[in-house]
Amino acid sequence: MILTVTLNTALDITYRVRSLRPHASHRVSEVTERPGGKGVNVARVLAALGHEATVTGFTGGATGQVVQELLAAVPGVADALVPVSGATRRTIAVVDEQTGDTTQLNEPGPMVTPTEWSAFQEAYEDLLPSASAVALCGSLPPGVPVGAYAGLVRTARTAGVPVLLDTSGEALRRGVAARPDIIKPNADELAELTGSHEPLRATQDARRRGAGAVVASLGPEGLLAATREGRWRATPPTSVRGNPTGAGDSSVAGLLSGLVEHLTWPDRLIRAVALSAATVLAPVAGEFDRATYEELLGRVTVTGEASAA
């Protein structure tokens, strides 16, 4: 089982409109709802790849109930969410059908009390012995300590479970110091962490700060990885346009599934890039187009080299 942690779960709502125009009324042609938040998206993709996944984090209110009802219908994903008194947030993605561009609106999330945070930590510790890997994903809801991910990384390492951290800002800065096995920042998050806007230098610096491996998302230019085993760059064959919501989460699923399957780093990166591109092209946020994914697997380019023994 792969465990994904989403402290700030969400109900992802996607609106499709013919053309998005400021200061105008719009007729929505299609509405879809999915259980969301970064770790939930990761779990959904993992399940589609044939892995058992368990989702934990927080859920609350009427929106949280909808999230859990929708999650129950996802094959291969188990619900281990912890209840809170506040309401789970919503995220709104508005897709412009003419351009393919997406506008995203994200609510902040519920206030989490110290008692609720303690209950989550106990649930997390109980789940770790059954996990082959864990992903810690996304933003922190109000009330959760800024060093929360650092503590969760240490708990996973004590349990002997490899951990991937995908967050930003101060939560990432503190989390890296706890020595996660992998971090997956985007270019802006990596620059904020290291102060360097040169991706190769920044990935190396992030490793010196404590990360075992750094996989930086460069958007349409693919992934750049700095690991103990070597350095590689994986690039999609063409630039794709569409809804980017969940693309980074699909990359995380590719990296995690490759980890537990003991794939080489180049093969993990190929899978992650192909999944990311296939997610951008999918009609619904947080899904991926399987035919596109399978076609891209043979066309992603990887350059780089292994470290000297």
How far is CA 253 from each of CA 29, 48, 82, 204, 256, rounded to the nearest angstrom? 31, 10, 22, 23, 5
Considering only CA atoms, which of 249, 240, 189, 259 is closest in space to residue 43?
Answer: 249
φ, ψ of residue 165 to 5 degrees: the values are: -115, 125
Which contiguous run of DSSP H or E holds residue 77? strand 77-79
The answer to whether 85 touches 143, Cβ cutoff 8 Å, is: no
Considering only CA atoms, which of 233, 180, 234, 241 is closest in space to residue 207?
Answer: 180
Cα 211 to Cα 175: distance, rounded to the nearest angstrom: 9
Considering only CA atoms, which of 192, 201, 248 is closest in space to residue 226?
Answer: 201
Report the Cα 140 to chain-centroid distance in Å. Answer: 13
Catalytic residues: 249
Q: Residue 215 forms beta bridges with which residues?
A: 225
Burial of 27 (0-12, 13-18, 19+ CB in 10 A): exposed
Considering only CA atoms, which of 89, 112, 167, 107 is closest in space to residue 135?
Answer: 167
**Coil vs helix vs strand at 201:** helix
